[in-house]
Amino acid sequence: MPDLTPLPGAYSTPELLPAPPKLLHSCTNLDGAEHRAPHGITSPTVPSVGQDTCKGVTACGDTPGTAVLALPRFGFPTHPIPCTGRIPKCSLHLRACSSCSCGALPVLVPREICCRRWWEAIMEGTENDLHGLTAPESGATSVRHRLYRQELNLTLPAPLPLRAEAAWLQFQLGISRDGLYPRSSAAVSRLLRDLRDLPTVSADYSQDEKALLGACDCSQVVKPSGVHLKLVLRFQDFGKAMFKPMRQKREEETPEDFFYFVDFQRHNAEIAAFHLDRILDFRRVPPTVGRLINVTKEILEVTKNEVLQSVFFVSPASNVCFFAKCPYMCKTEYAVCGSPHLLEGSLSAFLPSLNLAPRLSIPNPWIRSYSFEGKEEWEVNPHYCNTVKEIYPYSNSNRLLNIVDMAIFDFLIGNMDRHHYEMFTKFGDDGFLLHLDNARGFGRHSHDELSILAPLSQCCVIKRSTWLRLQLLAEPEYRLSEVMRESLLQDPLAPVLTEPHLLALDRRLQLVLGAVGKCIDTFGEATVVANDTAQPRSPAVHRAKLDT
């Protein structure tokens, strides 16, 4: 049986998580007067050091003139912060200091904590502090929900309470040394259903995009493909997913003259990659599902990001469109549009946050040059693998075998953009590699890029479990294209792949088997086929597993 132990330190060790601060409903000012929060809301007035005042902080500090920026059940800083800046006037006393100093470190309090729905502010901390999983909703929080909805006449449904049995949480808790999820996982099935059906409650740019906003000159756009147009969507159950919209029709192929690093990112490639990864029994791609998104109601009307709001417009055909802001794309001709509001896209479930389950991002030894000229060493040196084998950890662990698995996966989908790979630090050097960002796959069904198989053809090693699985999927009764076709029919956007792409999988599988066969003829099966950590299974056992 595979090791299904949850990630050490991720959720199983609550002592690693900070305790939420104690909340007060009143506090004493410097003048000795007590200020009680209105409507039962923890919103006292606390003057700061000096002439400035910081009104409406959410809790009082232990000493006069300080405040703890705390949220019900989920704490931000848990120690007193002297407030140093004035704050804007916000509705319903949802106020926070715009700039405070925490000891010697500056603490910038996001404006969103001040002026957005209280429960959205709470959601910012749910994945980082799970002490409140079973805590009942406070009266103050309930009042804020009701008053805010009344003030803005909101019709959005109230948020569901954070439940320990939420599918996204159970998926994250189920991550083990063996893969992102067990072979038979009810949590993944429920998660796919939730990603497909649950209403969105907020939309925003991803953190890496936020960090880069404004870092380029929008007058100098050199990549006309709009490659990184993606958003983070939140749902009623506090789960999050990465949304990648449709940018290319299924029957279109990537032009021959396109370099791989300016290729489109395809939403259907993310969906198909998840299904193929599961069929190959890798289980290293986060659960991904297709969905028709109403870009007006499920993105524009729920986002509080002014930059994101500013990139929406109505096209001459009366379709609602939006485009990516700097640093990726700055022109409306590279926008994506609904029809008139509905837009296809992929939703990929989030992994645990990095502070709970740290991950390493490591350059791929077979990285490409990412330039219009020049080649990497592996492209000109057929013995490059001998150099890689001398470097730790590729010299004495399963890392090289995992690299070969990843190369086979990328070759099958036609992905040339695997410049880095990620892995959980908790599982050590032998941990599995995450197969993330697969949207540049399935671009050209008429071309097989053999250079993607360089790790296999140069190193001539493969896991026995992978070898047996590939042999099984080449048999007529379990043909890879047929298994993929049946699996993809479960997706709401079916058909996800066109028939030429499905047939290309069978053709590429034969090329992989041929490369392994050539290595076996040269070095022998005992040298090429390595026993991996998974218990080897005979083809008959694999057949039984596929039947179920």
What confidence tens digit (pLDDT) does each residue in 80-106 have? 334 333 333 332 233 333 333 323 223
pLDDT, tens only, 175-187: 999 999 999 899 9
Integer Cα distance of 350 and 172 in angstroms: 9
Cα separation, 454 vs 15, in Å, equals: 45
Lowest mean pLDDT among 116-125, 396-405, 406-415: 116-125
Using CA atoms, how far residue 1 sits from 126, 178, 548, in Å, is 32, 10, 17
Q: Is 244 annotated as a binding residue?
A: yes
Greatest alpha-carbon pair distance for the chain in Å reads: 88
Query: What does the alpha-carbon distance between residue 32 and residue 251 come to, in Å, rounded to a whole number?
Result: 72
Q: 289 or 119: whose pLDDT is higher?
A: 289
Nearest residue to 192 via CA among 279, 274, 69: 274
Annotated binding-site residue? 482: no
Q: Tell me what the pLDDT averaged over the chain comes to.
A: 72
Contact present, 91 and 153 (Cβ < 8 Å)? no
Residue 280 assigned as binding residue: no
Q: Give the number of other CB atoms < 10 A from CB of residue 434.
A: 19
- Angle in degrees, CA 296, 438, 267, rounded to 5: 30
Question: Is the per-residue pLDDT at 403 higher than 50?
Answer: yes
The H or E element containing residue 242 is strand 240-245
Instruction: Supply the residues annotated as catalytic.
Output: 417
- Rounded Cα distance, 335 and 254, in Å: 18
Query: What is the arithmetic mean of pLDDT over 161-171?
Result: 89
- Specify the length of the chain in residues: 548
pLDDT at 421 over 90: yes
Residue 454 clears pLDDT 50, i.e. is over it: yes
The three-point CA angle 95-90-53 to 5° equals 50
- Answer with the residue of higher pLDDT: 115 or 268: 268
Report whether 84 contacts 48 (CB < 8 A): yes
Q: Which pLDDT does position 23 carry in this prediction?
A: 34
Q: Is pLDDT above 80 for 437?
A: yes
34 labelled as ligand-binding?
A: no
How far, in Å, are 128, 408, 471 from residue 510 at the CA level?
A: 45, 12, 9
Tokens coding 534: 């998974």
Kindly state the average pLDDT of the residues 402-409.
97
Determine if residue 349 is labeled as part of a ligand binding site.
Answer: yes
Query: Per the annotation, does 509 bind a ligand?
Result: no
Contact 2, 182 (CB under 8 A): yes
Tell me, what's the pLDDT at 307? 86
CB 148 within 8 A of CB 117: yes
Distance CA 171, CA 350 (A): 10
